[in-house]
Amino acid sequence: MESTRLRRAVNNGLWAFAITLIVASSWGFWRTLPSVQHTLREFAAAQHHLNQLESALVQMERCLLGLAHADSPKVRYVGYDPEHLQANLTLAYREADAAVHTLLAELSGVHDLAFQEQLIRLELEWAQTRSRLAEYLTTAKPVQISLSALRTFSFRGQDTLGEAIHGFKRAYQEQVEREIRGGLHALIGSVAGLWMGFGIIIGLMWGRWARPVRWLRRALTQSTLEPVAPPPLRGTEWEPLYQKLAFQERRLREVELFMRDLAMGRTPEPIAPTDPTDALARSSGWLLKRFDELRSQRREAV
């Protein structure tokens, strides 16, 4: 009895643990998956803006190089006049400025210290670049360009904008890799929890229904059923069924012996009743009484 109670308590505890594990793992999975997807979308958008920034900076550098040699006949021969170069420089400058402001607005919420340092460095380098070009971009005479404006991308003695972009990309990639790695670990843990929970439930269902059915089928193939249920069936809902089958088999053997004695002309003992309302025992008593009456009538007739 104690072992049966202990087994039921263990099974109930395993059911509760498995259900809790499945619920918690499902919640963790659907909570982490959108975060990972958001990080990937944010990374793709940042890469797009970085590509726009680098492309605009290359165009700006080419325009400055053309303006530095604006007096060269070869430059004018291919159509790079100062007005055209200034227009392209202004357009590229606006694209680069928009890309920088978009990056600052979208990624300012990242709290990693190394990433914030690179983000501030990028902002400062772009501010210096913008200050060098501001005077020239506002002038109406494209030929009058200062030496500091021409040397915007080759200013010595300080960090360049290209190095700032490179450092920013490296820090951002490391930050994204950490977030993705953490998200993947959380997803793998959630999936493992789901598999474990479903595995426990399948094991409990196997132990509660499939395994006892196999034992019951094995017991039914035996010539005689034991009066006591096998250990795997004890304490389960299959034990009463087994006991009922064993009882019906014993009663069937008693009926078989009773009918065999009658067929051989012997007077058998009436079938012992199992309870006061046992119909089989009453029927055997009536049958014996009728058998004795017929035997007496036959003797009187002889």
pLDDT for residue 284 is more than 70: yes
Average pLDDT over residues 279-298: 79
Alpha-carbon Rg for the chain, nearest whole angstrom, is 46
Residues 6+ apart with CB under 8 A from 50: 99, 103, 165, 168, 169
Classify 265 in phi/psi space as left (phi over 0), alpha (psi -120 to 50) or beta. left
Q: Say if residue 142's pLDDT is above 70.
A: no
What is the per-residue pLDDT across 15-28, written as a single tens digit (0 to 9) for each? Answer: 899 999 999 999 99
Q: Residue 231 gets which letter from DSSP?
A: G
Residue 156 confidence (pLDDT): 47
Q: At what angle do helices 161-205 and 113-138 cross, to 10 degrees?
A: 140
Tens digits of residue pLDDT in 31-66: 999 999 998 999 999 999 999 999 998 888 888 777
What does the pLDDT look like over 123-135, one tens digit per residue?
A: 888 888 888 777 7
Residue, of 7 and 173, whose pLDDT is higher: 173
- Which pLDDT belongs to residue 77? 44
| pLDDT given for residue 88 in this prediction | 84
Is the pLDDT assigned to residue 189 strictly greater than 80?
A: yes
Domain boundaries, given as residue ranges, for the chain: 2-199, 231-301
The SS3 of residue 157 is coil
Instruction: Give the dihedral of Cα atoms 140, 144, 147, 152; nearest 10 deg.
Output: 30
For residue 44, what pLDDT is reported? 92
Which one-letter amino acid corresponds to residue 243?
Q
pLDDT of the residue at 51: 93
Q: Residue type at 18?
A: A
Instruction: Map residue 223 onto helix, strand or coil.
Output: coil
d(CA 223, CA 239): 19
Say if CB 30 and CB 184 are below 8 A apart: no
Helix (H, G, I), strand (E, B) or coil at 230: coil
Contact 200/12 with Cβ under 8 angstroms?
A: no
Handedness of CA 257, 258, 261, 267 (dihedral sign): positive
- Pinpoint the alpha helices (H) of the chain: 2-68, 73-77, 82-107, 113-138, 147-150, 161-205, 211-220, 238-263, 279-301
Residues 255 and 271 sit within 8 Å (Cβ to Cβ):
yes
Residue 80: the pLDDT is 61
Domain 2-199 has CATH 1.20.120.30: yes
Q: For residue 71, is pLDDT > 80?
A: no
Q: Tell me the pLDDT tens digit for each residue of 204-222.
A: 888 777 777 777 777 777 7
- Rounded Cα distance, 100 and 126, in Å: 8
According to the model, what pLDDT value does residue 157 have? 37
pLDDT of residue 63: 80
Q: Which residues contact 231 (CB under 8 A, 6 or more apart)?
A: none
Q: Which residue has the higher pLDDT, 136 or 240?
A: 240
Share of the chain above pLDDT 90, in %: 24
pLDDT at 147 exceeding the cut of 80: no
Give the mean model confidence (pLDDT) for residues 224-243.
72
